[in-house]
Amino acid sequence: MDNVVEEMGMNMGQTTGMDTKRWVVDPNQPPAVLRQAVQEAAQLLQQGEVVAFPTETVYGLGANCFSSEAVRKIFAAKGRPSDNPLIVHIADEAWLEDLVSDVPEAARRLMAAFWPGPLTLILPSNGRVAPEVTGGLSTVAVRMPDHPVAQALIAACGFPLAAPSANRSGRPSPTQAEHVLDDLAGRIAGVVDGGPVSIGTESTVVDVCGSNPAILRPGGITREELEAVLQQPVETVKADAALAIEPTAVAGRDTTAAGDGPADSEASYVPRSPGMKYTHYAPRGEMWLVCGTPEAMRQRIVQEATARLREGKRVGILTTEEGIGAYRQQLAGQPVILLACGRRREPASVARELYGCLRQFDAAGAGVIYAEAIPEEGIGAAVMNRLVKASGGRLLQA
């Protein structure tokens, strides 16, 4: 069975023709090599350029958060709608003073437990970051990444880095430098290549401004972990609900989409987490999320795949190491793009490999993709959140 897919250049749209530097920083290299790469990258950031760098979650595309001109280059390189705000990355908790007007008690406890790490906190802004960072909101998203290269780079800059994931808008987040270059070569000043990331799914975004902390985006820190520290239930705001809340008037704010995302016509309503109103990543093929017991899912997927193959479609199947044998057997000889994404019994491994697999389906030209659901426990909740979004709500109950 042919389950090997070709890697293709995925560079979309026109580049600016910029020479994109790549610094490879292997942990086995002498520290001087890392120092020099970090210094060169920091110098470009100090000159107002944008540079991609590894974090423990996904690669970020950084710029000086206090410079409108620099931050605008992020939106231009990504083709990102200008009203979708960015996370500000700090190297030291003391830097919060430059960013926020208050640190609520819940935030203090979460910072003590999870920073540095994959947790982003929504805090009241003191208005000093460039307005492009917050997209007109009165809050600012802050995180301290737990990655030696990210920490060294931010410290060398001497200012916090506003950084979204380093992908073109609408593409899966990058989990290795190659993904960054596929999307952004020729559009950014450089990428610090620290190898594959360890978590592979974005940080958990928690709003600590209200009376009850709420998860705006599930991610690397699980709801269970947050509840254990806060000693209270923590709700996860559903994407639909997030669209309807916070009727904050932001008079005169330019809400025109800057890139390939949809324009926002509701100028007077700010979603609680603006990222939620955009379909983030949608595969080029039609993706279906299949739920049920492992046996039922596999039976249904084999059925569906067989029917689609007969229609002449190029079919992709997203399973795990536990499931791949069953498909190999039942679809033997069929030209299916079959990918094992980690191990079902170890959801962290699924999180780590998910975005790479989604990129492979696009590269292989899958016309229709069937993805197995995984249990929504721990980081499985973040994986399912991304799969539901990628499938645009196309669910099959097996």
Residues that bind ligand TXA (CB under 6 A): 55, 57-58, 60, 84-87, 118, 120, 122, 134, 137, 139-141, 143, 163-165, 202-203, 205, 216-217, 273-275
120 contact choice in ligand TXA, Mg ion, none (CB below 5 to 8 Å, kind-dependent):
ligand TXA
Q: Which stretch binds Mg ion (CB under 5 A): 132-140, 143-151, 164-172, 330-338?
A: 164-172
Given a contact cutoff of 8 angstroms between Cβ atoms, the answer to whether 383 and 374 are in contact is yes
CA distance 302 to 45: 50
Q: What token pair was written down for 341?
A: 């994404």
The alpha-helical segments, DSSP class H, found in 24-67 are 31-46
- Which residue lies nearer to ligand TXA by CB, 217 or 300? 217
Nearer to ligand TXA, 145 or 323 (CB): 145
Which residue's CB atom is positioned nearest to ligand TXA? Answer: 275
141 makes contact, choosing from Mg ion, ligand TXA, none, with CB < 5 to 8 Å by partner type, with ligand TXA
**Closest separation in Å from C-beta 24 to Mg ion:** 24
- Contact by Cβ (8 Å): 212, 42: no
Alpha-carbon distance 125 to 127, whole Å?
A: 5
Q: Is 76 exposed, middle or buried (0-12, 13-18, 19+ CB in 10 A)?
A: middle
How far from 396 is each of 22, 124, 153, 297, 310, CA to CA, in Å?
A: 42, 41, 44, 9, 20
* Structural element, H or E, at residue 190: strand 190-193
Exposed/middle/buried for residue 213 (C-beta within 10 Å: 0-12, 13-18, 19+): buried
Contact call for residues 179 and 47 (beta carbons, < 8 A): no
- What is the smallest separation between the CB atom of 141 and ligand TXA, expressed in angstroms? 3
Choosing from 20, 165, 255, 385, the residue that interacts with Mg ion (CB under 5 A) is: 165
What number of residues does the chain have?
398
Query: Residue 99 and residue 94: Cα distance in Å, rounded?
Result: 10
Least distance in Å: CB of 217 to ligand TXA?
Answer: 5
Query: 295: closest CA among 268, 325, 315, 270?
Result: 325
Q: Which residue lies nearer to Mg ion by CB, 253 or 386?
A: 386
The least distance separating ligand TXA from the CB of residue 206, rounded to whole angstroms, comes to 10
* Nearest approach, Cβ of residue 78 and ligand TXA (Å): 9
Q: Where are the alpha helices (DSSP H) in 47-97?
A: 68-78
CB of 374 to Mg ion, least distance (A): 21
Q: Which range, of 21-29, 108-116, 160-168, 344-352, touches Mg ion by CB under 5 A? A: 160-168
Residue-wise burial string across 98-127, b where 16 or more C-beta atoms lie within 10 A, e elsewhere: ebbeebbebbebbbeebbbbbbbbbbbbee
> Considering beta carbons, is residue 42 or 119 the nearer one to ligand TXA?
119
Is 125 among the residues that bind Mg ion (CB under 5 A)? no
* Region of 143-151, 157-165, 208-216, 252-260 interacting with Mg ion (CB under 5 A): 157-165
Task: Say which entry of Mg ion, ligand TXA, none residue 274 contacts (CB below 5 to 8 A, set by partner kind).
Answer: ligand TXA
**C-beta closer to ligand TXA: residue 205 or 358:** 205
Cβ-based nearer residue to Mg ion, 165 or 385: 165
Residue 137 CB, nearest approach to ligand TXA (Å): 4
360 interacts with Mg ion by CB under 5 A: no
**Least distance CB 196 / ligand TXA (angstroms):** 15
Q: List the interface residues with Mg ion, window 60-89 (CB under 5 A).
A: none
Specify the residue, 74 or 331, whose C-beta has the smaller distance to Mg ion. 74
120 lines the binding site for Mg ion (CB under 5 A): no
Q: Which does 50 bind (CB under 5 to 8 A by kind): ligand TXA, Mg ion, none?
A: none
Backbone phi, psi, residue 20, to 5°: -95, 115
Q: How far is CA 325 from CA 43, 322, 335, in A?
A: 50, 7, 15
Nearest approach, Cβ of residue 345 and ligand TXA (Å): 25
Task: Give the footprint of Mg ion on this chain (CB under 5 A).
Answer: 165
